[in-house]
Amino acid sequence: MHGVFLFTDTQIKRESFLEDVNNLLNAGEVPNLFPLDEKQEICEKMRQLDRQRDKTKQTDGSPIALFNMFIDRCRNQLHVVLAMSPIGDAFRNRLRKFPALVNCCTIDWFQSWPEDALQAVASRFLEELEMSEDIRDGCIDMCKSFHTSTIELSTSFFVELQRYNYVTPTSYLELISTFKLLLENKRRRARGLGLSGVCVCFQRSDEDEEAVRGGSGEAGFRGLASGRHADGAGGAPSAAKGCQQRGG
């Protein structure tokens, strides 16, 4: 049974964490990790497994040999994956202090995402949004344009001022997440304003009905027309005039 230990640089709360990782990569164990009773229990379990192996591969049965057998099994079945950003001085300093991060690891260096990768990522994260395909395609193109233009401006920024502005794939993911959050907030606000408008319309209709009922015939319509005219509703006085003419 194989397992993966994934460790990112955002989880490094103290630099001493990397010392344990360095020992794990270099020697296959973290020194003084197990107390004596747990170490003895491990040796007993290894003894049972050791007896099941071919005699040519069995150990001499000593605690040291059995514990080394345990370490070898851990090294063969545990895969350590470290995800770190090369930005800044912290990464270089850690490589100098903990050489096993380089000597005992296979380094996969991820370059900037190409155009088709930006397209695929934006399509994946925006596919669940409620919008037409034309608008969705426009949003995808917008995200791609923002990211690529920022990279170009960062290059000019370095040429002119000798200062770095890093634009990484993480920046692109944060851009898409921010866009989705803003869109949801604006939609929620628009729905709230729309509901308020409906409530105001219903309230105004009830008030108009009460005004007409409260007046008698022509007087009621005159009161309604004058009230709407005061509020800036241009169509209401004309309607009231029509009612007056028909009443006359």
Region for residue 8 given its phi and psi (left: phi exceeds 0; alpha: psi -120 to 50; beta: otherwise): beta
- With a CB cutoff of 8 Å and minimum separation 6, the contacts of 28 are 71, 72, 74, 75
Q: What is the reported pLDDT for 211?
A: 54
Q: Report whether 65 contacts 59 (CB < 8 A).
A: yes
Q: What is the reported pLDDT for 241?
A: 44
Q: What is the reported pLDDT for 86?
A: 83
Q: Measuring CA to CA, how many Å separate 71 from each of 18, 27, 34, 134, 139?
A: 19, 9, 12, 57, 52
Sequence spans of domains, the chain: 3-103, 115-191
* DSSP string across 148-198: HHHHHHHHHHHHHH-------HHHHHHHHHHHHHHHHHHHHHHHHHHHHHH
d(CA 187, CA 3): 44
Q: What is the reported pLDDT for 244?
A: 42
Helices 63-77 and 36-51 pack at an angle, to 10 degrees, of 80
Q: Report whether 225 contacts 237 (CB < 8 A).
A: yes
Q: What is the reported pLDDT for 152?
A: 92
Q: What is the reported pLDDT for 235?
A: 45
Q: What is the reported pLDDT for 210?
A: 60
Pick out the chain residues at pLDDT < 50.
Answer: 216-217, 219-221, 224-225, 229-248
Q: Report whether 17 contacts 93 (CB < 8 A).
A: no
- With a CB cutoff of 8 Å and minimum separation 6, the contacts of 184 are none
Phi then psi for 78, rounded to 5 degrees?
A: -105, 125
Q: Measuring CA to CA, how many Å separate 232 from each of 212, 225, 228, 235?
A: 19, 11, 6, 9
According to CATH, the topology of domain 3-103 is Rossmann fold (3.40.50)
d(CA 226, CA 240): 9
